[in-house]
Amino acid sequence: MKQNNNGIAREVTHCRICDSTDLLRYLNLGMMPLANNLAASEHDAKNMQRYPMQVQYCRDCSLSQLTVVIDPREMFSNYAYRSSISRTYIDHCRVMARSMRDSLGLKNGDLVVDIAGNDGALLSVFKDELGVRVVNVDPAENLAEIAEAQGVPTITSFWGADAADKVIAEHGRPSLITATNVFAHVDDVRGFVSAAKNCLSEDGTLMLEFPYGVDFIEHREFDTIYFEHLSYVLLEPVRRLAESLGMVVFDVQKQEIHGGTIRVFIGNKGRHDVLPAVAEFIAHEKREGYHAVEIYEAWNSEIDELIAELVMEIKALKSGGARIAAFAASAKGNTLLNACHFDGETVDYIVDDTPEKIGRFSPGTGIPIVNRDVLAKNPPDYLLILAWNFAKDIIESTAEFSAAGGKYIIPIPGFKILGTDREA
Ligand SMILES: [Zn+2]
């Protein structure tokens, strides 16, 4: 493995699922800074270390993956952000808990482990709705304190063989391990799934939920590419990984959160009835061309055109005298703003609800991050919704802005203005 940038960035030469070296680069978004290292000044933000943001396709197992892996110690700062701020997310957790009870037959007293369970939002719901015992495994100490305070026991660690042993020693074997929005961020996916297998009861289930590679391509979600997000995952590579570990994918369900995710259920071979949905998803992926490189090459040109269109439309609004601000200093916002080469000249500020982000500057672009008071006191003409997966929440919660004539720009899957006759 090649190293550069003082050992911080490692080049990916082997597929992390099937170890193939037959990897073909299909998208290049240029050099970008890390998304979550918010800067203390505009100058620092614009002068941050940058790394190549490129995606490659494995011609053996169809996994899309970044061409580099950044040392996680550089990406995950001491302070991690809470997940339970969004109401959409809490509702999603509640529906998930009930669905797990119904489909897996979870009962009172069963143990459920959540990998990277953040502030314990999902597990609190599991505990309250289902009466199960719960354990959170998350590396962020500040979040562990919040989770513990809500009655969710937390092991402060990344997931792996050691954490799995600790769960067994302190709590017993879980009948369910959940990992939502984690799998695509993991480099050693084989070690990750293997640790879950060794931890689970014989009939237990590993549930992975991750953004679906089909939606990623179909809805042009290029801004979900960032350095923490290492893989863009179809069902086929996960099926292959499970099989190679003596496991089987026995169910798959589509979820509409975050622009389209899938929930994949994995267990020991011979212990679960494999539902028809699994073969149906894989047949659909194959039929639509996701197991061949051509679709990804065509997508590359589509994304180039989409970025050019965003730049052109927003520059046109600016030259007409419009003021533009953005909503949510998220990782995907960082990718979009940097891919478009916007800075404070184009976007006046970014509104965010996370107190720790206020007063900081967006990496690469140097755009200041402010709280909602600024939106009220100094409103722009247009609010660019970077967190488009929470567009409904954002629009509902900024009713005063739109009532006063403010309009919204939705950038993905294509430039769209809400609040005028240009609305599609
Ligand atoms: Zn592969």
Q: How far is the CA of 13 from the centre of ligand 1 (A)?
A: 11
Q: How far is the CA of 67 from the centre of ligand 1 (A)?
A: 13
Percent of the chain with pLDDT over 70: 94
Q: How far is the CA of 230 from the centre of ligand 1 (A)?
A: 13
Do residues 418 and 395 make contact, with C-beta atoms less than 8 angstroms apart? yes
Q: How far is the CA of 300 from the centre of ligand 1 (A)?
A: 20
pLDDT at residue 84 above 80?
no
Do residues 81 and 354 make contact, with C-beta atoms less than 8 angstroms apart? yes
The residue count of the chain comes to 424
Ligand 1 is a single-atom ion; what residues have CB below 5 A from it?
A: 15, 17-18, 20, 58, 60-61, 63
Q: How far is the CA of 12 from the centre of ligand 1 (A)?
A: 12
Q: How far is the CA of 287 from the centre of ligand 1 (A)?
A: 19
Distance, in Å, from the CA atom of 130 to the CA atom of 140, rounded to the nearest integer, reads: 26
For the chain, the C-alpha Rg in angstroms (whole number) is 22
Q: At a CB cut-off of 8 Å and minimum separation 6, what does 225 contact?
A: 27, 29, 53, 55, 66, 232, 335
Q: How far is the CA of 18 from the centre of ligand 1 (A)?
A: 4
**β-strands 64-66, 68-70: how paired?**
unpaired
pLDDT per position as a tens digit, 320-379: 999 999 999 989 999 999 999 999 999 999 999 989 899 999 999 999 999 999 999 999
- Residue 423: its pLDDT value, please? 44
Taking residue 27's Cβ as centre, other Cβ atoms within 10 Å add up to 21
- Residue 421: its pLDDT value, please? 44
Edge to edge, the sheet with strand 64-66 lists: 23-32, 51-58, 64-66, 231-232
What is the residue-averaged pLDDT of the chain? 92
Q: How far is the CA of 252 from the centre of ligand 1 (A)?
A: 20
Q: How far is the CA of 15 from the centre of ligand 1 (A)?
A: 5
pLDDT per position as a tens digit, 383-409: 999 998 889 889 999 999 999 999 999
Q: Give the DSSP letter string of 343-366.
A: -TTT---EE---GGGTT-B-TTT-
Distance, in Å, from the CA atom of 140 to the CA atom of 137, rounded to the nearest integer, reads: 9
